[in-house]
Amino acid sequence: MAYRTYLMVCAGTGCVANQSIKIKDTLIKELEKKGLQDEVAVVTTGCNGFCGVGPIMVVQPDGIFYQLLKSSDIPYLVEEHLIKGRPVKKFMYIPSEKEPPIPKMSDIDFFKKQVLIALRNRGLIDPEKIEEYIARGGYSGLAKALTEMTPDQVINEVKKSGLRGRGGGGFPTGIKWETMKKVPGDVRFVICNADEGDPGAFMDRSIIESDPHAVIEGMLIGAYGMGSTQGYVYIRNEYPIALERLLKAIAQAKEYGLLGENIFGTDFKFDIRIIRGAGAFVCGESTALMASIQGMPGEPRAKYVHTVEKGLFDFPTCLNNVETWANVPQIIQKGAEWFTQIGTGDVTNDPWGGSKGTKVFSLTGKVVNTGLVEVPMGITLREIIYDIGGGIKDGKKIKAVQTGGPSGGFIPESMLDLPVDFDELTKVGSMMGSGGMIIADEDNCIVDMAKYFLNFTQEESCGKCIPCREGTKRMYDILENISVGKGTEEDLELLEDLSYMVVESSLCALGGSAPNPVLTSLKYFKDEYLTHVREKKCPAKACRQLNVYTIDEEICATVGHGCDLCKKSCPDFAIFGETKKAHHIDQMKCHKCGACYDACNFKAIKVE
Amino acid sequence: MPKITIADLEKIREDTKRTLNFRLGTCKAKITVHMGTCGIAAGARDILSSVMKEIEERKLMDVIVTNSGCAGLCSKEPMITVEMANEPAPVKYIDMTPAKIKKIFDSHILKNELVKEYALALGSEKTA
């Protein structure tokens, strides 16, 4: 019996964390209770991308989008929508207080401006069913490659498409494949890099969670092109759902004979092994990743000899990122020409001539709509932040956009009309990176943010090169000093000198890009640093050691009625005052931890 | 499971086409069964079942069914609204019975010929 309605419940990590599995179970139970189980199907899908309003459910074929669901809402929703046919307004997306709810997913701005290639199946298929992937045209790219194209034609098609490495490097994929193909030898490997480590980034995780077969098909096509028979997926163990779905997908592909020997009756054979990473950031670097697969410490090596010549176990190895692999089936299926229609520049003669296709970003920070977005290359940052992201939270002013995670840089508001493109972002000192995009508003202190990223890189530095190991630590120390009011103007010069030293003398991209947040923040937000070192003040009031906390006695006494919360929260016993009367802070005892500010419910604590 | 061939891929795609059209919301015809309290009391559930039965029996790939609330003309329930992709305005049919549904499928859905005797009016109501 066919179903009349499909309830697509999001089961990406974000929604699962918000109990979407429980919602699914309640739905099934409720449908049975009402006798609708043969008419209405419940399907779990991968991440829809709009993680900020999860758990999400989309009702098809009408495309009604429900958000922020609780399992206690389900009986009402089933009764109203599925029995009486009245979509429930209170669970719909409301763009702002003044506007009416938007029933249809396709009408929501967040989804409207996106162009999906790598995430084309998100929310539409059950990632744990290979048949649904096939139903959406899956594995027909592989079929086309194996039966209609020679390996060289496959490589040529990818080269013509202008696809560039989505892990952040932006190296033309076709050229990498071609170089690998030319290296003699029978044994060669392909690797999928799913060791995504940037704080606040979850593109690769979502792709695997919502469409694991796209990655497998991409690897199969690449392996056919380059003549490899063995692939590896290096995935971090902290991604349990992604890992589970990938394992299931590989098992299904094997069962269908899509992995193994004589694929589609040809003599092409290929197999995939999964290697679980332990979560070291540096293992996202290609040579460190290969060392880790070999069971050695995850440390990078100098790349005088490229990994396409001597990589894993010293055999030619082609490593691509999850998103890169996920783009490949579409390129083969629809052709390079289709792919080059999206994006910037011209890649007909020069593979470096532009950025083609789409890029997935995880939009986080002080933006209204947080989540995962796939946008065409060339879109401006402003469009991503304001049209898709819905602007800045609480009507605040934007300060900067941080792209590329700890290796990227800050881009100030004046440059928001910059098109998103590998080369444009590099020109202003940032980088595309793997796709992290963190929005900072006026309450974020640039020194504090630079310090956060530096802290991350200095902890994750593998320690092989002294400039990276020690340099990032010293840079962190200087930033720490500035944030507590011990910095001087000379420190800023030293910071810049150290940055260039670390960039130039580190072996791998971790050290080579770690100073980017510092360099770009010094370049675009010098004033803020100067206020910190000269006036010992933090304009955003985020560096608490530079703040002075006082209590507005009138508000405290009349509005808060001397509630004592601040007094109880203060670890220094610096707050005095009788209950029900105005309190005050003894500045000599205050260590400026800000606990009172966080504790006060009446906004009586003032910060200067 | 024996090894899959390229022909099998096609077969799977054909078998799941209907499911997929449903999920994507792409279709030739969309039938809305009005299921307010009045509609349900007048037998809209049977109508919904028979619409689904027709689709099933005729193996239609691109006809989707959905339900909505009371259309306001409670005395003429059960009602359905038929929207064809190639017709500009939706058509409302009144006083439905399973036999009438069959006829609507025979002529309107399959041959694009309106069943005038069951139709209430063309077009949708104006909304403020």
| Averaged confidence pLDDT in chain A | 92
pLDDT over 90 (residue A466): yes
DSSP for A29-61, please give it.
Answer: HHHHHTT-TTTEEEEEES--S-GGG-S-EEEET
Residue A71 sits at φ, ψ, to 5 deg, of: -65, -20
The torsion defined by the Cα of A574, A575, A578 and A579, in degrees rounded to 10, comes to -130
Cα–Cα distance for residue pair A88/A7, rounded to 1 Å:
14
pLDDT tens column, A374-401: 999 999 999 999 999 999 998 899 999 9
Which pLDDT belongs to residue B125?
A: 61
With tokens 């063995």, the residue in question is A230
Q: Which of A2, A84, A131 sits opposite B12 (nearest CB)?
A: A131
pLDDT of residue A113: 87
Residue A544 DSSP label: G
Taking residues A463-484, report their average pLDDT.
95
Helix, strand or coil for residue A130?
helix
Q: Is the pLDDT of residue A256 over 90?
A: yes
Residue B123 banded pLDDT, cuts 50, 70, 90: low
Q: B-chain residues within 8 Å CB-CB of A86?
A: 68-69
- In A198-285, at which residue ranges do the beta strands (DSSP E only) sit? 230-236, 271-277
CATH architecture of A358-441: Roll (3.10)
- Give the nearest partner residue to B24 out of A39, A124, A258, using CB atoms: A124
Whether B17 sits inside 8 A of A135 (CB atoms) is yes
Whether A83 sits inside 8 A of B40 (CB atoms) is: yes
Q: What is the pLDDT confidence band of residue A348, given thresholds at 50, 70 and 90?
A: confident
Q: B35 to chain A: which residues are within 8 Å by CB?
A: 83-85
- Sign of the alpha-carbon torsion through A476, A477, A482, A488: negative
Domain residue extents for chain A: 5-108, 130-340, 358-441, 446-535, 547-607
pLDDT > 90 fraction of chain A, expressed in percent and rounded:
75
CB contact under 8 A, B25 and A62: yes
Contact (CB<8Å) A61/B35: no
| Distance separating alpha carbons of residues A416 and A400, to the nearest angstrom | 9
How confident is the model over A573-600, as a mean pLDDT?
Answer: 91
Q: Which CATH architecture has domain A547-607?
A: 2-Layer Sandwich (3.30)
Q: Which of these, A5, A104, A36, lies nearest to B67 by C-alpha position? A: A5
Q: What is the assigned CATH class of domain A130-340?
A: alpha beta
Residue of A nearest to B59 (CA): A2
CB contact, 8 Å: A5 with chain B?
A: yes
> In which band, very low, low, confident or very high, does the pLDDT at B128 lie, cut at 50, 70 and 90?
low
ipTM entry: 0.82
What is the model's pLDDT at position A333? 95
* pLDDT tens per residue, range A499-550: 999 999 999 999 999 999 999 999 999 999 999 999 999 999 999 999 999 9
Q: Which CATH number fits domain A5-108: 3.40.30.10, 3.40.720.10, 3.40.50.2300, 3.40.50.10490?
A: 3.40.30.10
Q: Which of A347, A524, A504, A328 is nearest to A422 (CA)?
A: A347
Question: Which of B3, B9, B17 is nearest residue A140 as measured by Cβ atoms?
Answer: B9
Assess whether pLDDT exceeds 90 at residue B5.
Answer: no
Query: Which has the closest alpha carbon to A471: A513, A431, A434?
Result: A513
B35 to A84: CB separation less than 8 angstroms, yes or no: yes
Fold (CATH) for B6-122: Glutaredoxin (3.40.30)
Low-confidence winner among A119-123, A451-455, A586-590, B14-18 (lowest mean pLDDT): B14-18
Residue among B1, B3, B11 with most chain A CBs within 10 A, to mutate = B3
What CATH architecture does domain A446-535 belong to? Up-down Bundle (1.20)
Instruction: Indicate yes or no: CB of B33 within 8 angstroms of CB of A85.
Output: yes
